[in-house]
Structure 1
Amino acid sequence: MAKYYFHVLTSEGRVIDPEGTELEGMDAAHVSAIEDARALMSEAILEGKDISSRKIEICDENGARLQVVSFRSALTVVD
């Protein structure tokens, strides 16, 4: 297990994840980032806000950026 940190990137800066999450690997970290993005967008939509331009930066324990996941990539467009 490795610890991953999920920092939210906004137009105003970076919201730091100070605790991190223990996960099995990068695949699990990517899934977690998608789930986090969906949850944050759901809350924002209820407040009438569109935050789909934000991103989640996945970092390791040393602060190295491993991947960036856009909130938009967490959505599937349907009619």
Structure 2
Amino acid sequence: MGRFYFHLSAGDELTSDDEGMDLPDLSAAKREAMLTARELLVEAIKSGKQTVPEAFVIADDEGRALDTISLAAVLPAPFNK
């Protein structure tokens, strides 16, 4: 079990996740990032937002970036180009 942080990347800005989440491994953290990305996109569409963050940067307790999950990656194939 480890603590993972899901920072939001938008251009040159990084919005830090100060709380993080305890998850079994990086694979579980990636799944969580993808689920949260879908929810974020749904809310953006419902509210008519024209911009959304580009990606989640998954980091560990020591602040090391472990992986990046693009929000576009969770879109159906015709839209993720």
TM-score (norm 2): 0.87
**Quick one: distance in 1 between partners of 2:52 and 2:74?**
9
**Unaligned stretches of 5+ in structure 1?**
none
Matches within 5 A, 1:58-73: 58-73=58-73
- State the superposition RMSD in angstroms: 1.6
Query: Normalized per residue, which structure has more helix?
Result: 2
Q: Deviations over 1:2-60 (max 9, x none)?
A: 00000000125111100000001011000000011111111110121244661000000
Gaps in structure 2 of 5+ consecutive residues: none
CA pair 52-76 structure 1, distance change in 2 beyond 3 A: farther
Identity of aligned residues (%): 32
1:46-61 equivalences in 2 (<5 Å): 46-51=46-51, 54-61=54-61
TM-score by length of 1: 0.89
1:22-33 matches, cutoff 5 A = 22-33=22-33
1:3 matched to 2:3? The reply is yes
The residue number in structure 1 matching 2:21 is 21
Tell me the number of residue pairs that the alignment of Structure 1 and Structure 2 aligns: 78
Alignment match, 2:75: 75
The one-letter code matched in structure 1 to 2:54 is: R
